[in-house]
Amino acid sequence: MIKKLLLLIVLLPFALVAYSQVHAYSVAETPWPETLGNHRAVIECQEGKLAHVILFWRRHDRLPEQKRLLILSAGGDTVRHIYRIAVDNERAEFVFEPVSGKGTYYVYYLPWQGRKENGWFAGDYLKPEATPDAAWMQRQGLPASAAQLPLSKVNRLEARTEFDSFYPMEVTATAAELRTLMARHPQKMILFPEDRKFPIRMRDHLPYKWIRSGPAASFSGAAQRNEYYTFQVGVFAAGTPLKGLKVRFGSAPFALTCFNTGGRDSRGVAFTRAPDVAEGTVQPLWIGVDVPENTKPGRYTFTVFIAAEGIPEQQVPVALQVGDKIIAERGDHELWRHSRLRWLNSTLGIDDAVVAPYTALKRNGNTISGSTTAATLGTLGLPESIRPFGTAVLAAPIAFIVETDTGVEKWNAGKPEFINETGGLIRWKVRASNQRLTLDCTGTMEADGYMRFHIAVSGQVRVPIKDIRLQLPLRKSSSKYFMGMGLPGCETPVVYDWKWKGPQDAFWMGDVHAGIFCELRGASYSGPLLNLYHPPPPPAWYNQDKGGFRLYRQGTVQYATVYSGERMLDTTDTLRFEFALLSTPVKQTDTWSQFTNRYYHNGSDPLPKEADLKTGIKIFNVHHANAINPYINYPFITTDTIRAVADTWHKKGMKMKLYYTTRELTNQVPELWALRSLGSEVLADGKGGGYVWLREHLVDHYNPQWFTTIGGYERSDAALLTSGDSRWYNYYIEGLRWLVRYTGIDGLYLDDVSYDRDLLKRMRKVMDGVKPGCIIDLHSNTGFSKGPATQYTEFFPYINKLWFGESFQYNNMSAANWLVEVSGLPFGLMGDMLHGGGNPWRGMVYGMTVRYPWYTEGVSCDPKDIWKVWDDFGIAGAKMVGYWEKDPVVTTDNPAVLATAYIRDNRLLVAVASWAADTVAVKLNINWQRIGWTSKNRFIKAPAIRNFQPEQRFNGEQHILLAPQKGWLFIIDK
C-alpha cells in the first residue's frame, strides 16, 4: 500500500521562479472525515497576517470554480476569510487569513454533503465559500497587496485513501505542457505504452506522467509461465480526429489480443471494431498476451502496429521477459494483473449441449419430443400441436397470417427441412411462396421445450399489406388463466384488446397443468423489460403503433392474436418477425424441496445464528452490501472470506448462495478502467452525477446506480449501470465458474436481472459442471418489472425457486393473481412471500411462507411456527392437491373461500383462506373417496400457531367462521 510520499517533485523547464508547478502526492496515514472531501492540500504558513497560495492541483473534475475551498488549521479551526484570485482545473491562487498564526493548514477542495437515500446517493459538493466582505478586503489592502505577499509552501497534496488518489494517472498535464509535447512530437497520432499497474483513466486529458516520460519508443514487461499478461497503449489524437483505429501484430511467439478492436460477443460470434478517437482525447488499447505454461524462460519480442484512416502506421516494439516460475490460474488470483480480461472473450457454455434436468430431444418425422413437451410441426414450420407432459394445449395449428389487398395469402410450402439436430437443439427451415410474396421461416426447439421462430416476408412485387398476424388457438380447458400484455395474472377475459405500451412484450395463457408462453422478439434487447431497460418495441410487430394484441373466444377455442397492421411492402423490403414459445409447466413441481429447503435471508446480516438452525433452515443467501460480499456484482475482492463462510456453514449442514448478477457493477472493480476503455460496450453511457467518487474520477459518460456505504464511507460501493448484452456476460460466466470452484458456494440468488435465458443456460451449465445440483432462486419486484412472472417465464426451466414478493399487495390480490404471478405452480415451481410478511393464510393455500427472519412481527406469521406444523405433520412427504385441480380433495360451500389439501397416509393437512369481502361461515367438503378414506364425520383440529390461529376443534359438519383475508390450517386424522 502506498502510504508514504509518492514523489513527483520534478521541476519543469518552465517552472515558476522558486515554486514548482508539480507537488508531491501522498495518501493520508489516517483518513479524515469523509465529507471534508477526498482530497486536500497541506500548506505551511509562515509569520504574517495573510497567506498567499498557488496550488497546482491539476484536476480533471467538472467546474472546480463552483466548489468550496474549506481551509482548516491543524487544530481544526475554520478559516473565515478566503480571497480567490484565480481557480480553474490547472491551479488555484488565493489568499487567506490564518486563524491560528503560523503552522500547518489543510485546504480541502472537494468538500460535500450527502447521504444514502432509498438506495441512491443524494448529495452534492458544497457551494463556493462566501466572498470576503469589503471592509476586510480594504483592511488587508486586497487585491493590490496580493502580488507582494510571499508564497506559502505547499508541502504536498493528499488523498483521503489510496482508492481516492489521483496519482499518477489522473494528475493532468497543463495546456502549456501539452503544447510543448505536441511541438516536440508533431505527428497526428502519439503513442504511450503503459504498464498494467497504471491503468489509463482519463480520456480528455494526458497524465503528467506522460509529460515526464514522453512518448515511449517501445515497451518492456515481465511475465511468468502460464500467465495471461496484459499491458496498454494509449493513443493520443494530437492534431486531428482519428478515424477507424486499427491494431495488428507482427510475428509473435504468443497469441495476442487487443480487447478494444475485437473479440467474441456474448453469443460467441467473432467481431472486429475500429474505434474513432476525437481530437485531443486518448483511447487506451488493452492488449493481452497468452503465455503458455510450457514457455521456456527467456526474452521474447513482438511488435504492435497501430494505424488510423489517413494516418501512417506506427509501431510499438515489445519485449517480454518470461521467468521460470509457473503462475497458478493464469494470474487470476491477483486482480491487479488484469489477467481476467481474457474472460471477456470466453465462449464457455456456448453450445447446444443438453442442460440438466432435461434429456436429449428426439425427432420422429415432424414431431420433436423432449422430457417435458412434444411439438409437431405443420404448415410453414409452425407447431400444429404442442403437448406439455402429454396434455394438448392447442385447439388448432398456430397460424402466421399474411392478409393483403386480395385477402389472406395462400402459400406453396415444402416440408420442414431439418438442418441441425443435437440432443439440446433441433433447427429447421421452410420456404413458402406464391406469385407475389416469399416467406422464409426458421425455427428451433431446445431440450426444455423452448421454441424460437424467425419469419421473413419479402415481396416480388409491390404489395399493399392489410395485416400480418400470429394466431394462437388454445383449448378452453387449457386457457383458464392469462397474464401479460398489460394484464396481471387473472382469469382469461373473453375479449381483451391491447396496444403497445409499458414494459410488455409477452403473455402466458394456460392452466396449472398445461399452458403456453409467447414472447414477441426482434427488438435491440431481449431480456426482462425492467425499468432500467426499456428498448423500443420489436419494429415489425409494432409497425409505428399500428400493431397490437387481441384476445377473443369462439366456442371452445380461446384465440390470442398478435397483429401488426397495415403497411406497404416494396420489392426492396423484408419484414422480419420473431417470436418464441414455451409450453408450461416447464418441470414437475418439487414439493419436497419446497418444504425441506427453507431459506434464511437477511440482507445486512446474512449469517444465521446457532439458534436459527432449530427452525429447520437449510439455505441462506448472502446479499451484497455486507462484510462478506460488500460490492455489488463483484464478489472477487472478498473471496477468501466467502470461502471461509461457506466452509464453516457446510459443516453445519447449510448451503450458502451468493448475490451475483450483471445489471449494475461496483466502482471497486479493478478492471474498471479497462472496461471504461471499451466505451459504452460494458458500462452504459449517461449524464454522470451520483456519488462524489464517480464525479471525481469518471467525471462523465456513466449512469450511476445503487449506492452503499461500506464501513462508513470507506471504499463505498457506488454502482454503475451496465449496457445489457455485452462481453461482460462472458466475464460473468467465467467468474461464476471461478466462484463455485474456489469458494464452494452452492448457487446464486438473482435479484431482478437483465440478461436473457441464453445466459441463464450458460450459468446452469457452468455451475453444474463444477458442482452438480447448484441452486438458483429468483427475486423480483412487481413495481420494478411490471409483472415478473411474465418477464421471467423463459428463465423458469433453469430456476429452482421464486421469490416474487417485493411490492406485491397480497391482501388486494385475487386468487388467480396469486396462482399465476406469485406461486409458480403453473410453471412447475414454488415460491416464498415477502412484502409486509405476506398473507400467511393465503400463502399456505399455495404452500408458501415468508423467509426467515423476513416477517413483520404481530402483523404476519413468523414462519418458524408454521414450519413446526409442517414438520409435525410431515408435509415434505405429502401430496399437495389444490383448489385448482379438476378433482380437488377439499372445497368449501363459498366460492370465495379456497382450500388446498396436503395428504399423507393417515393424516390430512388442510389450508383454507378467504377472498371474501366480509366475515363468512363455510363448511368444508372433503372428497373422502379421492384419498381412499371412508366417509364419516371426523373432528377437525386447528393447532395453535402464533399470530395465525388459536387452538380449536371443529365437528366435520360444523360451519367455520373466516374473517376477511384470513383463514385456517387444519389437521384431520384418519
Q: In DSSP terms, which residues pair with 389 in a beta bridge?
A: none
Identify which of 36, 55, 49 has the alpha carbon closest to the alpha carbon of residue 94: 55
Q: How far is CA 202 from CA 148, 167, 199, 322, in A?
A: 37, 12, 9, 30
Identify which of 756, 681, 757, 735 has the alpha carbon closest to the alpha carbon of residue 263: 681
CA angle in degrees (0–180, nearest 5) for 843-870-796 = 50
Please state, in angstroms and rounded to a whole number, the distance separating the CA atoms of residues 274 and 260.
Answer: 8
Is beta strand 747-751 parallel, antiparallel or unpaired with respect to 655-659? parallel
Identify which of 311, 89, 318, 278 has the alpha carbon closest to the alpha carbon of residue 186: 311
Query: DSSP assignment, residue 296?
Result: P
Identify which of 480, 354, 398, 360 has the alpha carbon closest to the alpha carbon of residue 825: 480
Please state, in angstroms and rounded to a whole number, the distance separating the CA atoms of residues 360 and 634.
Answer: 35
Tell me if 654 sits within 8 A of 622, measured CB to CB: no
User: pLDDT means per 10 residues in the chain (974 residues)?
Assistant: 34 35 95 95 92 97 97 96 97 96 96 92 97 95 93 97 97 97 95 98 97 94 98 96 97 96 97 98 98 98 97 97 97 97 98 95 98 96 98 97 96 94 97 96 98 97 97 96 96 96 92 97 83 83 97 96 97 96 98 97 91 95 94 96 98 97 96 98 97 97 94 82 94 98 97 93 97 96 87 97 93 97 98 93 97 70 91 97 96 97 95 98 94 86 94 92 97 93
Residue type, 102: K
Q: What pLDDT score was predicted for residue 860?
A: 60
Give backbone dihedrals phi and psi of 367, rounded to 5 degrees, phi first. -105, 125
Q: In DSSP terms, which residues pair with 945 in a beta bridge?
A: 949
E strands present in 88-176:
92-96, 103-108, 112-117, 120-125, 153-159
**Dihedral (Cα; 646, 651, 657, 660), 10-degree rounding:** 10
- Give 927-935's long-range contacts (Cβ < 8 A, gap of 24+): 927/887, 927/888, 927/889, 927/890, 927/891, 930/881, 930/887, 930/889, 931/889, 931/901, 931/903, 933/974
* pTM, rounded to two decimals: 0.94
Please state, in angstroms and rounded to a whole number, the distance separating the CA atoms of residues 759 and 730.
Answer: 9
Give backbone dihedrals phi and psi of 908, rounded to 5 degrees, phi first. -135, 125
Please state, in angstroms and rounded to a whole number, the distance separating the CA atoms of residues 877 and 590.
Answer: 11
Helix residue ranges, H only, 744-875:
757-770, 782-785, 788-791, 815-817, 840-845, 863-873
Those residues with Cβ within 8 angstroms of residue 662's Cβ, 6 or more apart along the chain or in another chain: 633, 722, 728, 729, 732, 753, 754, 755
Q: What pLDDT score was predicted for residue 857?
A: 55
Please state, in angstroms and rounded to a whole number, the distance separating the CA atoms of residues 925 and 890.
Answer: 6
Q: What pLDDT score was predicted for residue 713?
A: 62
Neighbours of 361 (CB within 10 A): 23
H or E stretch covering 617:
strand 617-622
E strands present in 769-927:
775-781, 801-806, 879-881, 890-892, 897-903, 907-914, 920-922, 924-926
